[in-house]
Amino acid sequence: MLSKIEAKYIQSLYHKKQRDALNLFIVEGVKGVDELLNSHFKVQKIVAVEEWEHPLMGKAPLERVSAEALQKISGLQTANKVLAIAEQQMVQPEKPTTGKIILALDGIQDPGNMGTLIRIADWFGIDTILASADSVELYNPKVIQSTMGSFIRVKVGYGNLAALLADSQVPIYGALLNGASIYQQPAIQEGVLLIGNESKGIHASLMPFINSPVHIPRIGGAESLNAAVAAGILLSHLIKQ
């Protein structure tokens, strides 16, 4: 049974200031915790209902609680059997390298979008994301939840995108309305796909680095596409089997 102090401690990790201070984050749900326990992340504590079992649950101290108690500390509308606290891993952002495709994210603010973008990168075999410093943090619980475990396989480094993309040795593809049709774009083996902010698009300071602007031709009447949806469509044509 969790004490009030322990419950408040766990609830505090839903706030960025406390996550940063303690260098910890929360993973919720059977799927996410399974991925976590099978990863290289160090798990500090597990809180689970009686019926939750896992072959690797001995990797960290386990606290059994009732479903009601788990719901009280959960950030989900409906708690899913288990919650784990793990140590953050900081990734140093690096300039794009030849022979590799990476995703660059400029000012992505929505946690659901960020998590889905990480999941999309994982789907297409992209293991590196560069994110601007003003993008939502990786360890936001809603981001982690939206990745469905992909945060384990995709490294997300935060930094100054202008400095990281300057003098790039690989092509930089930017999602722009005046770009070439993605349907005519040949498959690539290396490069950066730059996706902009959900409402403002790509920042003006990054425009000079884009040497291969691309866009998704519109057929219907929708005004715009969700950033993650656009990234998925673009990558499906840039990375062809």
| pLDDT reported for residue 199 | 85
| pLDDT reported for residue 56 | 97
> Are 135 and 108 a contacting pair, CB within 8 Å?
yes
Residues of the chain below pLDDT 50: none
**Helix, strand, coil shares of the chain as percentages rounded to 5?**
35, 25, 40
> Are 14 and 50 a contacting pair, CB within 8 Å?
no
| pLDDT reported for residue 241 | 61
| pLDDT reported for residue 231 | 96
| pLDDT reported for residue 194 | 98
Domains and CATH numbers, the chain: 4-87 (3.30.1330.30), 101-238 (3.40.1280.10)
| 161-218 tens-digit pLDDT | 999 999 999 999 999 988 999 999 999 999 999 999 988 899 999 999 999 999 999 9
Q: What is the pTM (predicted TM-score) of this model?
A: 0.94
Cα–Cα nearest to 45, from 96, 87, 85: 85
> Are 13 and 43 a contacting pair, CB within 8 Å?
no
